[in-house]
Amino acid sequence: MQVIPRFLMLFLCWGLAACATPSVAQPAASAAAPPAWWAAHVRYMTEGGGVWRTPNPAAATDPAQPDAFGMEWRAVNDGRGLIGRLYGIEAGRETSEFWTFREFFHPGERRVLVHQWGGPGAYGFGETTNLGEDRFQLDQTFWLPDGRSWREGHRTHEQGDAYVTDVFDIGADGQWVARNSNTWTRVRGAQ
């Protein structure tokens, strides 16, 4: 039986480990950093605890609807991403959670992507773009478990301790048709 000298065994192990680890090109630090608008948006959404509320006008005509909606956001990965959730509020207390969100800066594609899931197994994917002056646009496609899909858009304007989100249906022709608008108010110190 042949014995492999210890130094040769260490060299072979190091060489195999190097082959198993893919080579990763190192981009310039500025190229990998999220844009300033994204960093400011993450700070804005998470400031003061990251909790937001909006009334639900549909509750006035449909008793099955919650009185209001809440959203909660927290920053992850050194501000490169947001994790959020949307839930109902009835008589001041949280009820059902409707949606879960992951929004993040993709360093390879240099854009902000959004994953959303909830409801009866629905899934959404899209991109957030900066429109300037604290305004953002989200264009998403949603899918149901049976494969049906639709497009939806949001245009948001951040203003102090409130932001307005206009919601749109996006037709097959790419036309944005206004559906409704929500004003979200920051809930400071909420946990």
Residues 6+ apart with CB under 8 A from 3: none
Q: What is the mean pLDDT of the chain?
A: 87
In the CATH scheme, what is the code of domain 34-186? 2.40.128
Whole-angstrom distance, CA of residue 162 vs CA of residue 187: 10
Predicted TM-score (pTM) above 0.85 = no
Question: How far is CA 22 from each of CA 13, 31, 187, rounded to the nearest angstrom?
Answer: 16, 21, 46
State residue 187's pLDDT score.
Answer: 96
How does pLDDT run across 62-72, given as a tens digit for each residue?
A: 988 999 999 99
Greater confidence, 189 or 92?
A: 92
Domain ranges in the chain are 34-186
Whole-angstrom distance, CA of residue 142 vs CA of residue 149: 5
State residue 171's pLDDT score.
Answer: 97
How does pLDDT run across 36-69, given as a tens digit for each residue?
A: 999 999 999 999 999 999 999 988 899 889 999 9
